[in-house]
A and B are shown apart, each in its own frame.
Chain A
């Protein structure tokens, strides 16, 4: 579909055989990041005791993420707040910018979400090994399992651990892509049914747009909270 196609903008950049051209996907990532920066800059410029609208929203995001981290990963995860906050804001704003007509949804491409998920996965694994050394491997060996079943359970645990980046990335990508495709399909119905029958799918389109905005927020939330949960597993062994 046209709205999912990636095309180059400007000159082709080729460094060492790797195509690094600026595409519309990169453009919308830059736009999302710029909106976040602008929004937080305006929101934190005037530090009033009684906050204005923008400051209030910025503070709400801050407390929302801070509470999420302390609820799921405990106080040990405090140093990772900047990372999780940036992650949450980036995913949220990419999803929301994608809701605008004529825009491009970066998170509806699996390569984008997979890279983010793999980064989280590798980072969490490194953090786990750095904090606990080889004792971190004990997450693959649950306690209280009979010795006969231990090899089987360990293999299952390893598969379960390896499935984390896949489920993390596929969830975000599939939800965004499915939502946009559904909107497109209903939009197509409006055109093909014309003035006479087009009103019903038009109503559905409006309702689905509302649902999509909810999904856009929820998926950013789920993405961030799962990162917190994985971080919790790495920081606090045997929870």
Chain B
């Protein structure tokens, strides 16, 4: 059976379209990966900063170990807040 010429060109165009879409998807995937890398450190750094602030305040006011405990949890809360915010922002961008 002979394949008609116009079918061949149509196939070529369709294949090109799929390739373009794939390229776009892989570009997007790269950007998502960037977002994923972002979230992990966001959580940890806030906990670290909270603990350091607690440690400094403790040595100022001589209240070891109470402030370090309180600020550790405040830092964890700040970290979760950071992650929620970043995730919300990413979601908004996706829906755009």
Contacts and interface: CB of A to CB of B under 8 A. Distances in A.
Contacts of B41: 167, 170-171, 174
A2 interface: no
A163 B37 contact: no
Given A166-B48, A170-B45, A175 B82 contact: no
A191 to B, nearest CB: 30
A152 B50 CA distance: 13
Contacts of B31: 221
B37 A160 contact: no
B62 to A, nearest CB: 20
B37 A167 contact: no
Q: Is the contact region of chain A dominated by helix, strand, or loop, or is it mixed?
A: helix
Interface stretch (B3-11, B14-22, B70-78): B70-78
Interface in B5-46: 30-31, 33-34, 37-38, 41-42, 44-46
B78 to A, nearest CB: 4
Q: How large is the interface on A (under 10, 10 to 19, 20 to 34, 35 or more residues)?
A: 20 to 34
Contacts, number: 66
B53 interface: yes
A156 interface: yes
A162 interface: yes
Contact of B75 (A152, A159, A174): A159
A59 interface: no
A163 B48 contact: yes
A105 interface: no
Q: How large is the interface on B (under 10, 10 to 19, 20 to 34, 35 or more residues)?
A: 20 to 34
Nearest to A172: B41
A156 B78 CA distance: 5
A167 B33 contact: no
Contacts of B37: 171, 175, 218-219, 222
Contacts of A157: 78, 81
Interface string A159-203: 110110011001100110000000000000000000000000000
A156 B53 CA distance: 12
A56 interface: no
A162 B82 contact: no
Given A157-B78, A163-B82, A218 B42 contact: no
Interface string A206-220: 000000001001110
Interface of A: 152, 155-157, 159-160, 162-163, 166-167, 170-171, 174-175, 214, 217-219, 221-222, 225-226, 229
Interface of B: 30-31, 33-34, 37-38, 41-42, 44-46, 48-50, 53, 71, 74-75, 77-79, 81-82, 89
Shortest Cβ-Cβ A-B pairs, 5 listed: A167-B45, A160-B78, A163-B46, A159-B78, A166-B45
